[in-house]
């Protein structure tokens, strides 16, 4: 990212020098420079980072979905009581703020993308316009998958006088997004304008096409239960167009702490209370241990004994044999839900005044606290596993469910090395996949295994919202909800976030239409595609 930030700043300085020194106006409002001066490619790094920032950290991913879907767990007591929103579904003092973060960040990011597209259109940059559409669909499909019905057909049209857009039903929004996505991908031409300042693919148009078709595949697979015909149609289109063919194609966004573009999940997990109280769930650790998954020693560690060591980011013991996941729904309050009452509680660590009552449970390793860690937007492994899901359902795809599954597992193991803190060789990944083939004894057995792997893989890539979305879509893994006293979801795993309270004043009619269409605005209201 650093070199692109430098390019961005250099471009802005050059722009300023050509406009009588109006740097402040240009830097804060690109439209004021006019399309004949300002290069809209300069906005691309910002919209890229904005998306990565929306899907990570305290915007919701760690505080909600990571533990809703039981990838992570927390005792959420004391300093880290904000994690009560997570695996206990109990509101904290800032829940209302957390609820609206994805909404605000998503539409802000989409608005900046629209700004880039408008300027690109004025300059005849059709390829950049198409990239903008891919990014807009990526962003607003994410927002829709978190909330349900959202403004789409009338969104981002404040300049046209539409400041209170209607909420499109999720079915209508998905239909429009898939159509927009298809048109955008097909409009990218090798002979057209160059994609510059591209922090994701360095201007490689073929990879942008693959991202577009891979996104199309993922969106299509959301529809397998609610609209299987449309799902199959767009799966076929995505395959024909060309999805990710290797880990080299996947959308992994670099971070750059020194220039203010740090990984937001890492920012969160460096907070002392998070270091102490955020642990991997026993569901995830047991899943990895059941097959001697080589990722386990890369992603999990048990801190040294004692409270001081547990609150320190110093590396712990990553020996696979000592890893123990924390069950969801426990606390450190001394009552019936105190973690010491958990049947497999390993006991406190330390002695004297330096005792850690949380116990020797596994926490994320330093790769998740690295503020320069990449953000995994969409990976080759996930795409291969979705293709395996499609094949298992009998969709017309070129390969078998077994071959796609093996490729997905290998890709997941290899790409974990992109964190930079340990790796699995291609040969070791291949050997692991061969030793753990897909269960093809029945469609149900295959789908269970495929989607448990998607859950674990996206979780280990810290793409917690996708772990949750795919769980909603597939029903795997089979999770037991936590029924903690005072929870806001009736003891059920939340299936969406509530609409921001601000919408009741800024767009009351739109909100009312969305709530009516969805049948309510609760934590357990189902997505249209969630059957």
Whichever domain contains 124, its CATH number is: 1.25.40.390
User: Are residues 297 and 276 part of one domain?
Assistant: yes
User: Are residues 122 and 94 part of one domain?
Assistant: yes
Query: Within 10 A of 136 (CB to CB), how many other CB atoms are there?
Result: 25
Is residue 408 a contact partner of residue 433, using CB atoms and an 8 Å limit? no
User: What torsion do the CA atoms of 183, 186, 189, 194 make, to the nearest 10 degrees?
Assistant: 50
- Give the pLDDT confidence score for residue 77 in this predicted structure: 85
Domain end among 423, 443, 474: 474
Q: Which residue in 324, 358, 347, 289 sits closest to 80, CA to CA?
A: 358
User: Are residues 95 and 20 part of one domain?
Assistant: no
Judge whether 525 lies within some domain: no
User: Are residues 219 and 145 part of one domain?
Assistant: yes
User: Are residues 104 and 38 part of one domain?
Assistant: yes
Helix (H, G, I), strand (E, B) or coil at 448: helix
Domain end among 227, 256, 285: 256
User: Are residues 281 and 391 part of one domain?
Assistant: no
Domain end among 455, 474, 493: 474
Judge whether 238 lies within some domain: yes
User: Are residues 429 and 354 part of one domain?
Assistant: no
- Give the pLDDT confidence score for residue 30 in this predicted structure: 45
> What's the total number of domains in the chain?
4
Q: Which domain holds residue 5?
A: 1-28
Within 8 A by CB and 6+ apart from 111, the residues are 156
User: Are residues 100 and 149 part of one domain?
Assistant: yes
Helix (H, G, I), strand (E, B) or coil at 420: coil
User: Are residues 47 and 10 part of one domain?
Assistant: no
CA-based angle 480:481:484, to the nearest 5?
A: 135
Judge whether 80 lies within some domain: yes
- Give the pLDDT confidence score for residue 25 in this predicted structure: 34
- The partner residues of 250 in beta bridges, in order of sequence, read none
User: Are residues 354 and 424 part of one domain?
Assistant: no
Q: Where do the H-state alpha helices sit in 165-204? A: 170-187
User: Are residues 66 and 113 part of one domain?
Assistant: yes
Judge whether 530 lies within some domain: no
- State how far the Cα of 251 lies from the Cα of 501, in Å rounded to an integer: 33
- Give the pLDDT confidence score for residue 36 in this predicted structure: 63
Judge whether 510 lies within some domain: no
- Give the pLDDT confidence score for residue 2 in this predicted structure: 43
Within 8 A by CB and 6+ apart from 227, the residues are 171, 529
Within 8 A by CB and 6+ apart from 415, the residues are 247, 250, 252, 376, 379, 380, 381, 461
Long-range contact set of residues 159-167: C-beta below 8 Å, sequence gap at least 24? 163/507, 164/506, 164/507, 164/508, 164/509, 164/510, 165/507, 165/510, 166/509, 166/510, 166/513, 167/510, 167/511, 167/513, 167/514, 167/517
User: Are residues 286 and 410 part of one domain?
Assistant: no
- Hey, CA dihedral for 432, 433, 434, 439, is it positive or negative? positive
Query: Within 10 A of 374 (CB to CB), how many other CB atoms are there?
Result: 20
Judge whether 523 lies within some domain: no
Is residue 170 a contact partner of residue 529, using CB atoms and an 8 Å limit? yes
- Give the pLDDT confidence score for residue 338 in this predicted structure: 96
Phi, psi for 72 (deg, rounded to 5): -120, 170
Is residue 133 a contact partner of residue 123, using CB atoms and an 8 Å limit? no
Q: Which residues of 320-353 are buried (b: 16+ CB within 10 A; e: fewer)?
A: beebbbbbbbbbbeeeebbbeebeebeebbbeee
- Hey, CA dihedral for 333, 336, 342, 348, is it positive or negative? positive
Q: Which residue in 59, 61, 62, 22 sits closest to 38, CA to CA?
A: 22
pLDDT per residue, tens digit, the chain (531 aa), is: 444 444 443 333 333 222 333 323 323 344 445 556 689 999 999 999 999 999 999 999 999 999 999 999 999 987 789 999 999 999 998 999 999 999 999 999 999 999 999 999 999 999 999 999 999 999 999 999 999 999 999 999 998 999 999 999 999 999 999 999 999 999 999 999 999 999 999 999 999 999 999 999 999 999 999 999 999 999 999 999 999 999 999 999 999 999 989 999 999 999 999 999 999 999 999 999 999 999 999 999 999 999 999 999 999 999 999 999 999 999 999 999 999 999 999 999 999 999 999 999 999 999 999 999 999 999 999 999 999 999 999 999 999 999 999 999 999 999 999 999 999 999 999 999 999 999 999 999 999 999 999 999 999 999 999 999 999 999 999 999 999 999 999 999 999 999 999 999 999 999 999 999 999 999 999 999 998
């Amino acid at each position: 990212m650093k070199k692109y930030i430098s390019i961005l700043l250099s471009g802005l300085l050059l722009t300023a020098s050509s406009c009588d020194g109006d740097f402040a106006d240009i830097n804060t409002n690109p439209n004021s420079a006019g399309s004949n001066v300002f290069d809209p490619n300069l906005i691309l790094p910002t919209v890229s980072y904005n998306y990565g920032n929306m899907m990570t950290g305290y915007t919701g991913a760690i505080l909600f979905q990571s533990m809703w879907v039981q990838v992570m767990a927390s005792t959420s007591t004391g300093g880290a009581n904000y994690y009560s929103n997570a695996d206990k579904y109990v509101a904290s003092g800032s829940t209302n703020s957390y609820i609206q973060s994805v909404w605000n960040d998503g539409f802000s990011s989409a608005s900046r993308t629209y700004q880039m597209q408008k300027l690109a259109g004025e300059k005849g940059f059709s390829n950049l316009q198409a990239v903008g559409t891919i990014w807009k669909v990526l962003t607003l499909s994410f927002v829709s998958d978190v909330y349900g019905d959202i403004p789409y057909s009338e969104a981002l049209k404040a300049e046209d006088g539409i400041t209170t857009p209607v909420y499109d039903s999720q079915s209508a929004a998905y239909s429009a997004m898939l159509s927009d996505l298809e048109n955008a991908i097909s409009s990218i031409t090798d002979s057209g304008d160059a994609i510059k300042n591209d922090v994701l693919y360095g201007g490689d148009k073929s990879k942008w096409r693959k991202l577009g078709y891979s996104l199309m595949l993922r969106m299509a697979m959301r529809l397998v239960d609610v609209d299987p015909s449309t799902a199959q149609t767009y799966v076929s289109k995505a395959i024909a167009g060309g999805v990710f063919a290797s880990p080299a194609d996947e959308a992994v966004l670099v971070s750059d702490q020194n220039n203010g573009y740090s990984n937001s999940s890492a920012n969160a997990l460096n907070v002392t209370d998070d270091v102490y109280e955020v642990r991997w769930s026993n569901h995830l650790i047991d899943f990895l241990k059941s097959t001697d998954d080589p990722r386990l020693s890369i992603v999990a560690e048990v801190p040294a004994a004692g409270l001081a060591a547990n609150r320190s980011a110093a590396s712990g013991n990553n020996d696979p044999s000592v890893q123990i996941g924390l069950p969801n729904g426990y606390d450190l309050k001394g009552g019936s839900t105190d973690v010491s009452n958990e049947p497999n509680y390993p006991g406190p660590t330390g002695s004297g005044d330096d005792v850690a009552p949380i116990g020797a449970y596994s926490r994320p390793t330093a790769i998740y606290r690295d503020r320069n860690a990449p953000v995994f937007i969409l990976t080759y492994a996930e795409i291969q596993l979705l293709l395996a899901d499609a094949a298992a359902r009998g969709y017309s795809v070129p390969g078998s469910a077994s071959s796609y599954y093996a490729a997905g597992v290998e890709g997941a193991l290899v790409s974990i090395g992109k964190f930079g803190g340990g790796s699995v060789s291609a040969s070791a990944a291949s050997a692991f996949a061969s030793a753990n083939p897909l269960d093809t004894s029945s469609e149900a057995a295959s789908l269970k295994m495929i989607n448990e792997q998607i859950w674990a893989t996206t979780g280990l890539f810290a793409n917690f919202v996708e772990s949750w979305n795919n769980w909603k879509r597939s029903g795997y893994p089979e999770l037991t909800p936590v029924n903690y006293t005072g929870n806001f979801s009736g003891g059920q795993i939340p299936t969406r976030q509530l609409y921001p309270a601000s919408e009741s004043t800024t767009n009351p009619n739109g909100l009312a239409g969305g709530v009516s269409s969805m049948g309510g605005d609760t934590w357990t209201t189902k997505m249209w595609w969630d059957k």
